Every structure is written in C-alpha cells, then in structure tokens.
Chains A and B, each alone.
Chain A
Amino acid sequence: MTGLEPSLQMWLTLALAGAAIVAYASERVSIELTSVAILAALLLLFYALPLPEVAGRPALDTGQLLAGFGNPALVAVVALLVIGEAMVSTRALEGVARRLMALSGQSFGRALGLSLLGAAVSSAFLNNTPIAVIFIPILLAIAGHYGHSPSRVMLPLNYIVILGGMTTLIGSSTNLLVSGALIRIDQPPLRLFDPTIPGLVLAAAGIAYALFVLPLLLPKREARGVASYDDGRHFVTELDLRPDSALVGTVVREAGLAADPKVRVRLVRRGDQILLPPFGDLRLEAGDVLLFNATREALSTMLSQGADGLGPGTAASGERPRFADQVLVEAMVKPTSRMVGSTLDLTNFAARSDCTVLAVRRRARLLRARLSELRFEPGDVLLLVGRSDTIERLRADPDVLLMEWSASEVPDVRRGPLALLIFGAVVVPAALDLVPIVISALLGVLALITTGCLNIRQAIRAIDQRIILMIAAALALGTAMEATGGAAWLAAQVIAIMAGASPAAILSAFFLLIAVLTNVLSNNACAVLFTPIAVNLAAGLGAPVFPFTLAVIFGANCSFATPFGYQVNLLIMGPGQYRFVDFMRAGVPLILIIWLVFTIFVPWYYGL
C-alpha cells in the first residue's frame, strides 16, 4: 500500500468536504450558493497552492475542477429530467400505471409493492438509471391517483433500484468497475452470480426498511404545480353534444362525466326544454347541451383529451381547435370593465383577445343561463385557453385582470404514444448497454422537442439549476479528494487503527469506510480506489480476497445519503421535492442496516 504523506491541500480539501456536507444539510444558505462557493474555494485553493506536477502537467488545474459541468453523467441526468417531464405532461405512461393499479385491485399499497418489485427485479439485470427513469413517471401517476405525495414513493423507488443492482454482477456499473479493477491487478474477475447470495440478503434487509420504516421517515411534500392555486372551487361550463360524441346514448348518471367526483352535471338543455336533476334514466341525445360544474383540473384533463364542444367558445365557433400546447389561465372581470352587464357574444371577447373562454366561476351564485348569454358581473373569473403569447397580451387588457400565476399548460395526451415510442428508444438501448445513456437521452430530448411532445419552456423548467451546480461541486470535490490522496489517506488511517483486530472486524470497518465515502466520491472512483486496497488488505491478513471484494461492491453501492452520491438520487430529487437533509435522514439508517447485515452475514457465510 502506498504510504501517503498528508499535505496541506489534502487537509483543506477534507475540511471543505466536511463544511460542504454541513452546509448542504443545514440549508441555511441556498444549495446554489453553497455549490458555487465550494467550486470557488477549490479553484482558489489549487491556484494558490498547486499540487506537484504529474508528468509535466499540473495535477489539478482549473479545467479539471470545472470538468463536472461537462460530465456525461450530469448531462444525462439533465436530459433525463427533461424526458421525465415530457412523460408526465403527455401522460404517456398513465396507461401502464392504470393497468398496474387494476392488477393490484385498486389498492395503493399493492400497486406500490408491485411496481417496486418490478423495479427491483429488472434493476438486477439492467442498468439502474433507465429502470428508475421508467418507474418514476409510473409511480408519480400512481401516487397522484391515490392522492399521496410523490415524496412518499420516490426515495423507496430509488433505494430499491440501487439494492436490486447489488444482486448480480451486471446490476450496476459499480459492480462491473470492481470486476474490471480486479482484472487490472491480475485477480480473477467476478462471475455473473457471484454477488447474488449475499446481495439478496442485503437487498432483503434494505427493501424491508424501504417499505416499512422509510415511509415513516419521509416528509409529505406537495406535488409541484397545480395544487397550490387550484383550490378545488368549481367552474361552470357547458358541453355541446355532437352526433359523434361518445356520450350520446349514455345515461347521464353513468356517463364518464358524472362518474368523476370533480364534475357535477347541473342541467341538460334539450331544445327549449330544461332538464334538472335528478336525471333518473335520462339518456343523452345528440344536440343536448350539458351544463356542469367542474374543477379546473378536471377541465384541463377533458381539454387534453380533445374536448369537442366544451365551453361556450368552442361551441359557438363550431370548429375543433387543438388545445394541446396551449396555456390555461384564469382572468377576472375588472370592476371597471366594459364587459360588465354584457354577454360573451356581445363583447366579442374571444375574437378580440384570441383566447377561448372555457368556463366561468362566480361567487356564490348558481348559473343556469347558457354561458354565451351570461351577463358578466365584476369579479367573475373566466377560465381561458390560448397560446402563451396571446395570454401575455392580456396583461394590458383594460377589461380583465390576468391571474398570472394560475397559468398552466394543457397536457398533450394525443402525443402520448409518440412520446412513449421515443421514451422506449431512449431507455431500451441504454438498459441493454448498447449506447451510452447520455447519447440516447440527448437524442431523446431532441426528438421530444421537435415532435412537439414538449416545448422549450417546459424543457427548461424541468432542468433544476440546483442539481447542476450541486453535481459540478460534488464532482470537483471528489476530484480534489482523489488528487490530493485524501480518500486513500483516510483508508490508510482506518486500516492502521484496526491493525491487529480480527479479519471480520477489519472487513466490517472497511465496508463502513467505503459506504460513507461513496456518498461523497463517485461510485466509479470508489471502486477503482478501493479494489486494490481490498486485495492488499486480504493478502496482509491471510484471508480470502472475495469477502473484501464484496465489501467494495456493496459498500460502493451504498450511496443513499446524499443526492449526488448516485445518478438515480438526482433524478428523484426534483419529482420527490426532497431536500438534501431528507437523503441523510432516510439514507443513513439504511447504510447502518446494510452495514450490520453485512458484518453479521458475510463473515459467517464465508467462514472468515
């Protein structure tokens, strides 16, 4: 083993790593600022105190410290976040989710268990990241359907995918890297099922934790987006039944509309006749007009599914405009508006503003008139659909006041199959290791945007600046720790302290060291760094090499406690609305559990 002389740079780097973890966890300053400060400190440090040159080049120059920004893993994460956004907004995986829910008899627990089981098994044989990418939107849909916060399902998915990856050699890139490192130092490589038995034991313990203990530790955070302003109040709108409508001939009570708890049919207008509830066995006919209350969310879903004849605007024009890609927004009729006392038809609002009025909300009063004949009162709220630039023009409108924060995109479900196809083309080659995931993901983003499954605005919104800065800072820290020998020095210290202890105790300490460091270093770095140490350690103790190799494999996979420890952690951070400290709260117990099980099982099983 190389005896390392601790240098000043090494101490400073280790101190900085500690300070970084504390700063991230306490969140007294924003993640962005912490990350930039770490990068700046490292740049200054190695500019002022450069490391001795290696082969004529400075061991750690500015370019290398900044290289994290161009790291393929980071680019892949960003591209995958965008792809995930497209899958959610086109609801492409909703069908899969619905089938899963049907299979599990509409029980949330069972549906969750079923998908997690699927994730665990597939991640044993495929790359972890694509598996997580597939299951994130599915679990989001399931959680959304049952009204659970996404934060309850994302971390369990994350941990289960990683734990599943521990069970075979090809389950995770880390395992392959360890095997590769073994070959490089002339040791026999690992076979496919070598890690399986201890891996299954560890995974069983971890999965039990993830399913039963973890939900108690997780915060309940609101899903991002609509929930904050959609207060569940109902808009009133009407639906013109065209001859080809799927609702014609159905009984009102059983029609798809009424089955939705967010929708309430108030009356049916047939010619000059007004039919009021209770509707009994009334069958809908072509030409009927349904007046109903619905939440904005329900209306948004209807719009995205086509919505022929929905709303006074579309009914009047007789056209079938496409609302996909458009923006849904609320606007209030101003007290001084010229529209007060006038009707939608008279004011010609739709033509003037180039927006379609979809529905109206009025305080306290029940509306029974046809919407196009409704006389406006100050304070009425209109639900509008339009292109984002026409909506923006409404800001200057003298008659209505735009409630800007209420703007949201109409999801484009018709492009769902197309999005699904692109998604498959991204995920399948990556899962089978045919193409690096960064390439397939970038091409996937390109395809999604050019085919209109996602617009650039949505894509940008999906990108989280915190994640970018955090990864770049973490990679720079990891690079510095490697280059200054900080990680190797820590390992040497642990081994020196443990000198004279039994092999089982040393194995246990060695595992814990790797499991802790892998949360700061990349898995790759850990595997490369610790595999030779493991071999040396075993030789020095006269013990078999294999248990020590296992310690490296399983230890390096234990990146549960920081978001930047593993690619999958970063992918679930946004959807789950997690903070840094959530990873520590949930991950540290898991690391300890895995450590205990490893310490008990492996020495016993391999007779150490």
Chain B
Amino acid sequence: MIEVEPSPQMWAVLLLTGLALVGYALERIPVELTALAILGALLVLFQIMPLENGALPPEELLGGLANPALVAVVALLVIGQAMVNTAAFEGLVRLGATLARGSFPRALVMSLASVTGISAVLNNTPVVVIFLPILRTLAERFGEPASMVMMPLSFAAVMGGMLTLIGSSSNLLVAGELRELGETDLGFFSITLPGAVLVTAAAAYILLVLPRLLPRRGEPGLAFDGKQFIAEIDVVEGSPLIGETALGGLFPSLTGVTVRLIQRHDRPILPPFEDVTLEAGDVVIVAATRKVLTEMLTKTQGQVLLTPGARAQGERPVQRRELMLAEAMVRPASRMIGQSLAFTAFDARTGCTVLGIQRRARMLRTRLMELRLEPGDVLLLLADLPALERLRSDPDVLLMEWSASEMPDVRRGPLALLIFAGVVLPAALGLMPIVITALVGAAMMIATGCLNVRQAARAVDRRIVLLIAAALALGSALEATGGAAWLAGVMIDIMAGAAPAAVLSAFFLLIAMLTNVLSNNACAVLFTPIAVNLAGGLGAPVFPFALAVIFGANCSFATPFGYQVNLLIMGPGQYRFLDFVRAGLPLILILWLVFSAFVPWYYGL
C-alpha cells in the first residue's frame, strides 16, 4: 500500500473540502460564491506552495470547466429543455398515464421500475436524460411539483447501475483494475444478487420515506393568476368542432373553458346550450384562463382557430416561428379607448395578434374585434419577440413584461424526438461518448428551431457549472495531495485488529462518503488496489471487498456533484445543495446497514 506522508497542502485541501461542504450546506452565502471561493483558494494555495512534482498548475485546476462530463451535462440540459419546449413526450406520457389508470403513485412506480431496469444494462446518464422530460411532464399532468420526482429518478438510475457489471462506468473500472492486479475476473452478473438486495432496500426508501423528505419546489406552470380571458374560436370548414353537440350545456372538446356565446351568422345563441350542434361558420365566444388558451393553441396545432387577429391577417399564427404570449394593458390615456380592435387596426400597427381580453368584473358577450376598449383592459397577445420589444414604447398599451412566455412549438416535436434518439441511442449503447452526441444534438436542436439560443442559455444553470468546476478542482487536489489515500490509511490503522466483517463495513462507509466528494471513477481507481491489499492482509476473500468498492463508489447520493445524473436533475427539480444531503444521507446509511448485514453473512466472512 502507498504510505502517504501528510503535507501542509494536504491538510489545507482537507480543511477546504470540509469548509466547502459546510458552506454549500448552510447556503448562508450563495453557492456561486462558495464555489468561486474554493477555486480561488486552490489557485492561490498551489501558486504559493506548489507541489513538488509540479502538479496542479492553474490550467489543471480550471480544467474542470472544460471537463467533458460538465460539457455533456450542459448540452443535455439544453436538449432536455428542447424536449419540454416541443412537448415531444406528450404522447408517451399520456400513454403512461392511461396505463397507470390515472394514479400518480402507480405511474411513478412504473417509471422508476423501468428506469432501474434499463439503467442496469445501459449507461445511467442517457437513461436519466430520457426519463427526465417524461417524468417532468408526468408530474405536471398530475399537478405535482417537479421536485417530487427528480430525486427519485436520479436515485433509481444510480441504484439500477448496481445490478450488473455494465450498469455504471465505475463498475467496469473496478473490474478492469482487478484484472490488472491479477485478481478474479468479475462476470456480468457477479454483482447482481447483492446488488438486488441493496436495490430492494433502496426502493422501499425511495417510495416510502423519500417523498416525505423532498421539498415541494418547482410547482408546475407559471404563477399566472387564474383570471379569465375572453377569446373566440372560429369554427372554419374542416374544423374538428363541426358537428359537436353540447351535452348538459358543455361541449366535450372544449374542456376547461366556459362558452359564453355562439354567434351564428347574425344570430347570437346564448347559454344554456341544450342540443346545440356546432356548424361551420359559427364563432364561439369563450372565457378561459391563459393556461387553457395556450394549451388549446398548441395541442390542436391550429386546427381550432382561436384568433380574430389571425382571421384578419388571413394566416394561421401557429406557423410563425418563436412566438411569445404576453399581456398588455390599455393605458389610461390610450387613443384606443372607446374604439374597437377592428377599428384601431392594432394587429396591423403592432404586429401583435390579440387572442383574448380580460376586463375587471364585467361580463363580455361581444365579438372580440367589435368590443369597445376601456382603460385597464388587459389584452392577451401573440407576437414574436421584436414586436413585443417594440410594444414597450407604445403610447397606447403598456406591456406587462413578466407575463411574456414562449409558446411551446409542438410541430417540431417529432423532429426533436428524432434528434433526441440520435443523442441517446449511440451513447446508451456505448458507441460514442455522450459528450459528442449531446453537443451535436444541442447544436441540431438550436439549428432546427426546436429551441432558440435564449431558451438554451436559460436552460444552462450557472450554479451547476461553478459547482462542478469547484468540485472537480477539489477532487484533483485531494488526489494529487494524497488526501484521500491518507484518509483510507488512517481508517485502516484504526480498524486494525477488528473482525473482517467490521473492517469491510468501515471500508464501505469510507468509500460511500468519499465518493460524494470525489468522482465515482476516481474512487474506483483509488480504492480497488486498497481493497485487494486489505483482503490480503486480513486473509479474507477479495470479492466482498471488491463489492464494497463497487457499491460504495456508486453511493454518490448526498451531493449534487457526486454524480452526473444528480447535476442533471438539480435544475429541473429546483433543488438546493442541502436537499441532496437530506435525501441522500439516509439512503447511504440504509445501504451501508444492509451491506454490512448481508454481504458478510452471504459470503461467510
């Protein structure tokens, strides 16, 4: 075994690691600042007191920013955003929801079981990439915040990696390392039985305990108030609404909206609508929330014409690129007051299409374009970004900027799905590194308009970039200064003379803790030779100790930077650092207990 002489640099790095974990967990100062401080401290440390072998120049410490794993995470976040934008998984989710017969827990269990099963034979990261948008949509469908499903997803994928030798890259590294040391070859299913025991324990925890520990963040949808807009639907030739009959006063296709009036030629039909059948040429005046209107606009792909403005312009607005929805208020001194939309030619003047109108307290039963505007009316607008920006200086309406949101572009869904498959499949099958396919995929998503540069930039979480850069720098420093090996040496010294089972248990715990700070690949490489030596010294079989390395190195549940998939879910789940500690630490302890009880007994240690 390598004896490590503790150096001042090593002490400094160990101290810094401790401070970093405390700093992240307390979040008294922002994560960005803590990460920056760690980077700065390491740079200064190795500038003033360089290591003897000249390791760790600034390039190496900053190398974390260029780490392929980080680049891959960033590219995958962009791709995930594109999948959400284009609602590409909507069909799949609907199928899943049907299969689960509308029960959220059942849908969740089904998805997590598939995640674990698939990640047993494929790389963890692509599996999480696939299921992330699916679970996000699923949660939204059942009105659950994303934070309730993201951490279970990550944990399920990592646990699945413990089932077979190819389930995780660190398993393969341990096997490779063992082969080089002239120890036993691990077979494909060598680790499956103890792995399955651990997975069972973890599954119980994930399904029963974890939901209580998770924060409810990232409530679905934007916090628009539920105020209703008046909008109108044109029943044109070929519209799916033709021939629809009201049942009990409600039209089956128009869920979530209140029909206020049907204008048939010059004759208004007022509610209640008993036995009214829609005909071509009808105009249906409805009241609906913005969310419902948005959904109608995207899901029906323009089959249900929703806009008087579109009629005026003679085009279907959904076909234009990068449309945004926004709200604007008619100003008190506006020239539009008392005029109708048709008269003021608002659409033509501003390039914004009016989708609906919101007015305090008053019931509207007029055609939208003929309504006389009052000060304080709020218009729901559909426009592209330049038109909205021009609207800022409009003297007649006041743009309510925060209300602007992008329209999901469902037409590009199939295209996005194709690109997605091109990213995930080669990576899952190990044909190409995921960083390459992800970067190519992100470029394709932007180039084909599945998302724009602004949305892509927003999908990249700067906290993740800084967190991982600082964590990688800290990890390299821990390795280069021998801090990790020294810790292992100390642990083994303390445990000298104890029973092999106790040594095994302590060894597992040490790895399971360190893997949250080091990368799991670094852990695998570092601890495999130690495991072999340890078993040799104790006269015990090597295999249980190899298992401790494999399972321990996979236990990166308690920090966001412990594992690539944790980083992927951090943004969508709106997690903080402490959430990982709170949810992951109990899981590590459970796995440790189960490992300590089962493995020595099963292998007769």
Contact = CB atoms under 8 A, between A and B. Distances in A.
B26 interface: no
B453 interface: yes
B447 A33 contact: yes
Contacts of B435: 43, 62, 66
Contacts of A446: 33, 36-37, 40
B432 interface: yes
Given A33-B447, A401-B398, A450-B33, A47 B43 contact: no
Contacts of B59: 70-72
Interface in B29-79: 29-30, 32-33, 36-37, 39-40, 43-44, 47, 58-59, 62-68, 70-71
A456 B32 contact: yes
A401 B39 contact: no
A30 B452 CA distance: 10
A444 to B, nearest CB: 9
B433 interface: yes
Given A37-B443, A395-B402, A71 B32 contact: no
A109 B330 CA distance: 47
A438 B376 CA distance: 53
A401 B66 contact: no
Nearest to A43: B436
Interface string A8-40: 000000000000000000000110110011011
Contacts of A404: 400-402
B456 interface: yes
A324 B30 CA distance: 20
Given A335-B375, A335-B376, A460-B462, A449 B33 contact: yes
A36 B439 contact: yes
A545 to B, nearest CB: 32
Contact of A378 (B332, B399, B456): B332
A379 B64 CA distance: 53
B443 A40 contact: yes
A450 B33 CA distance: 8
Contacts of B47: 435-436, 439
A439 B44 contact: yes
Interface in A438-491: 438-439, 442-443, 445-446, 449-450, 456, 460, 465, 472
B398 A403 contact: yes
Interface string B455-470: 0110000100000010
Nearest to B433: A62
Nearest to B438: A40
Interface string B299-333: 00000000000000000000000000000010111
A69 B63 CA distance: 8
Contacts of A435: 47
A432 interface: no
B467 to A, nearest CB: 14
Contacts of B67: 63, 66, 70
A119 interface: no
Contact of A62 (B68, B398, B443, B462): B68
Contacts of B462: 460
Interface in B414-446: 432-433, 435-436, 439-440, 442-443, 446
Contact of B432 (A47, A67, A71, A442): A47
A465 B453 CA distance: 10
A465 B58 CA distance: 22
A445 B36 contact: yes
A334 B359 CA distance: 13
A73 to B, nearest CB: 10
A401 B329 contact: yes
Contacts of B3: none
A32 B432 CA distance: 24
Nearest to B329: A401
B392 interface: yes
Interface string A65-97: 011111110010000000000000000000000
Counting chain B CB atoms within 10 Å of each CB, which of A72, A335, A404 scores highest?
Answer: A335
Interface in B443-499: 443, 446-447, 453, 456-457, 462, 469
Interface string A378-396: 1100000000000000011
Contacts, number: 137
Given A32-B456, A36-B443, A396-B225, A66 B68 contact: yes
Given A36-B442, A37-B443, A71 B33 contact: no
Contact of B62 (A72, A405, A472): A72
B436 A438 contact: no
Interface string A48-60: 0000000000000
A443 B33 contact: no
A66 B33 contact: no
A40 B439 contact: yes
Contacts of B439: 36, 39-40, 43
B101 interface: no
B71 A72 contact: no
A517 interface: no
A456 B64 CA distance: 21
Contact of B58 (A29, A402, A438, A460): A438
A389 to B, nearest CB: 14
Contacts of A436: 47, 58
A40 B446 CA distance: 13
B360 to A, nearest CB: 6
A29 B447 contact: yes
A75 B57 CA distance: 14
A44 interface: yes
Counting chain B CB atoms within 10 Å of each CB, which of A363, A439, A465 scores highest?
Answer: A439
A67 B66 contact: yes
A66 B374 CA distance: 57
B65 A75 contact: yes
Contacts of A71: 59, 62, 66
B429 to A, nearest CB: 15
A446 B33 CA distance: 7
Nearest to A377: B332
B210 to A, nearest CB: 31
Closest 5 CB pairs of A and B: A70-B66, A379-B332, A335-B376, A335-B375, A378-B332
Given A401-B329, A443-B43, 20 more contacts: A33-B443, A37-B443, A40-B440, A40-B443, A43-B436, A66-B68, A69-B66, A70-B63, A71-B59, A75-B65, A363-B333, A379-B333, A402-B400, A402-B402, A439-B43, A442-B36, A442-B39, A443-B40, A445-B36, A465-B457
30 contacts: A29-B447, A30-B453, A32-B456, A36-B446, A37-B443, A40-B442, A43-B439, A44-B436, A47-B432, A63-B67, A66-B71, A66-B435, A70-B59, A70-B64, A70-B65, A71-B62, A72-B58, A75-B65, A229-B392, A332-B331, A335-B374, A335-B375, A336-B360, A379-B375, A401-B329, A405-B401, A442-B40, A456-B32, A465-B457, A472-B66
Interface of B: 29-30, 32-33, 36-37, 39-40, 43-44, 47, 58-59, 62-68, 70-71, 225, 329, 331-333, 360, 374-376, 392-393, 398-402, 432-433, 435-436, 439-440, 442-443, 446-447, 453, 456-457, 462, 469
